[in-house]
Amino acid sequence: MAAFEKGHEKLGGRKKGVRNKASASVKDLLAKVYSEDDFIEDFELLRKSKDDRIRLEILKLALSYQYGKPVQPVVGEELAPPIKIDISAIPSHRVPAKT
């Protein structure tokens, strides 16, 4: 296989702007069952909830859709070696426990 060449035309996959078929069918179904007015009414009820946790979750969800989710930092040492687990001492056959 040839290396990726920057600037070449798109090969394969969906055409630009075409929605995923599964996503499109789910969105169409929801549009039939759950109207925009119902959605706005339910959103307002949740936004005005007395429970602070519900209001916080609604705010986080709305902000993530409006501005995108924040980047999650990777925590840990960059040069740490991979963890190796030695399983050679585990018997390959079952030994019944003595009672």
DSSP secondary structure string for all residues of 31-63 = HHHS-HHHHHHHHHHHHT-S-HHHHHHHHHHHH
pLDDT in tens, 28-45: 888 888 888 998 999 999
Range of weakest confidence among 1-5, 28-32, 34-38, 82-86? 1-5
Q: What pLDDT is recorded for position 77? A: 60
Q: What pLDDT is recorded for position 26? A: 86
Mean pLDDT of 69-96: 74
Residue 2: pLDDT band (50, 70, 90) is low
Entry pTM: 0.45
